[in-house]
Amino acid sequence: MSILVTGGAGYIGSHTVVELLMQGHSVVVLDNFSNAQPQVLDRIRQITGRDFGFYEADLRNPEQIEAVFAENDLTAVVHFAGLKAVGESVRKPLEYYDNNVTGTLNLCRAMTRYGCKRMVFSSSATVPFVESQPLSTTNPYGTTKLMIEQILQDLYAADPQWSIALLRYFNPIGAHQSGLIGESPNGIPNNLLPYVAQVAVGKLPFVSVYGNDYDTPDGTGVRDYIHVTDLTQGHLDALRYITGTTGVEAINLGTGKGTSVLEVIAAFEAASGVNIPYKIVERRPGDIATSYAGCQKAKELLGWQAKLDIARMCEDSWRFISGVGSEQ
């Protein structure tokens, strides 16, 4: 297949591009580098020994998207591109709605014009925890994902040729086993593990733990952390699924187990051998106490389940951040 990966230079996107190339697919990457580095593209080539198409483009620019579809015969789209920080979305809601929702509308228009009607969409566990639960969110980032899911549902209702997987995943961490690609956001990280990693290598002084008075075993937020390579495999399984069917399916990808902020810090200390200082600070707007996945549908529909544990996630993250990741 010929696959367009939007946000393909980003954290999850780059790992997905690696696996697509390793499995023999033709890949076109679209990214505007708002939260990624250009050198990631060379590392993908280094890992896979293969080349791929690349467009530095923004989904909010219809002309740029048009060029991608006009110049490539695309089979499907894996759609990662979007802003993703919960706290920032509370402060900048209009930016999130414009980037995430408008960008997706432009993408869907182009897909419709060129008859490319298969999509794997990177949704979020900020939607619901079990696929059958009613949709609700607590922050603008989550609301953009909910809106996009509804847009895609309506798109299929109007044109049943569409085949769409809405992958709702939880908290991806870890890095490629080569140590060449991992999570290395531009600026101060918004997610826990890259922040912990930057403290471990001395780039940041301490980890801010947002609240220790939640109704959890140690008072800190509990999340379902999933290794990025497990998550990547879920996307490839979803791609296989949508090529043989039509419709829209929401599917959770996670481990089904929760790990607290303090437990993650302890696991990273064990993996790195570095003491990681932290400070308890006020809760962040939009955060909830506990979030972990019910993943039975992924197993039944895709034959997928997570395999790697929190220790492996931290070991791979440390290999990346103490190697090439420390250069960024």
Please give the tally of structural domains in the chain.
2
Question: How confident is the model over 16-64, as pLDDT tens digits?
Answer: 999 999 999 999 999 999 999 999 999 999 999 999 999 999 999 999 9
Q: What percent of the residues of the chain are helix, what percent strand, and what percent coil, each to the nearest 5?
A: 40, 20, 40
259-287 per-residue burial string, b: 16 or more CB within 10 A, e: under 16: bbbbbbbebbeebbebebebeeeeebebb
Position 328 scores a pLDDT of 62
List the CATH number of the domain containing 48.
3.40.50.720
- Letter for the amino acid at 12? I
Q: What would the DSSP string read from start to end of 273-299?
A: -----EEEEPPPTT--SEE----HHHH
Q: Is the pLDDT of residue 128 over 70?
A: no
Asked if 234 and 260 sit in the same domain, the reply is no
Strand pairing report for 222-223 and 225-227: unpaired
Asked if 197 and 120 sit in the same domain, the reply is no
Asked if 17 and 111 sit in the same domain, the reply is yes
The stretch 157-174 carries a mean pLDDT of 95
Q: Considering only 135-144, 214-223, 229-238, 248-257, which range has the smallest mean pLDDT?
A: 135-144
Asked if 271 and 133 sit in the same domain, the reply is no
Asked if 101 and 15 sit in the same domain, the reply is yes
Answer yes or no: 241 catalytic: no
Position 167 scores a pLDDT of 96
Asked if 218 and 229 sit in the same domain, the reply is no
List the CATH number of the domain containing 318.
3.90.25.10
Asked if 203 and 233 sit in the same domain, the reply is no
Question: How confident is the model over 176-201, as pLDDT tens digits?
Answer: 999 999 998 878 888 899 999 999 99
Question: What DSSP designation does 119 have?
Answer: E
Q: Considering only 65-74, 178-187, 219-228, 271-280, which range has the smallest mean pLDDT?
A: 178-187
The more confident residue out of 85 and 326 is 85
Catalytic residue among 96, 141, 169, 241: 141
Grade residue 86 by pLDDT with cuts at 50, 70 and 90: confident
Grade residue 285 by pLDDT with cuts at 50, 70 and 90: confident
Asked if 248 and 117 sit in the same domain, the reply is yes
Asked if 252 contacts 298 with a C-beta cutoff of 8 angstroms, the reply is yes
Backbone CA torsion sign across 109, 2, 230, 161: positive
Q: What is the domain range of residue 275? A: 192-223+256-292+308-327
Asked if 288 and 148 sit in the same domain, the reply is no
Position 137 scores a pLDDT of 76
Position 129 scores a pLDDT of 59
Position 94 scores a pLDDT of 98
Grade residue 215 by pLDDT with cuts at 50, 70 and 90: very high
In a domain, 181, yes or no: no
| Average model confidence (pLDDT) across the chain | 94
In a domain, 242, yes or no: yes
In a domain, 7, yes or no: yes
In a domain, 209, yes or no: yes
Q: What's the pTM?
A: 0.93
Asked if 168 and 198 sit in the same domain, the reply is no
**Residue 9: helix, strand or coil by DSSP?**
coil
In a domain, 157, yes or no: yes
Q: Is the pLDDT of residue 13 over 60?
A: yes
Question: CA-CA distance, 126 to 138, in Å (whole number)?
Answer: 8
Position 126 scores a pLDDT of 63
Q: How many CB atoms lie within 10 A of CB 130?
A: 13
Q: Where are the beta strands (DSSP E) in 112-237?
A: 118-122, 163-169, 171-173, 207-210, 222-223, 225-227
211-229 per-residue burial string, b: 16 or more CB within 10 A, e: under 16: bbebebeebbbbbbbbbbb
Asked if 128 and 205 sit in the same domain, the reply is no
Asked if 77 contacts 116 with a C-beta cutoff of 8 angstroms, the reply is yes
Backbone CA torsion sign across 275, 88, 105, 304: positive
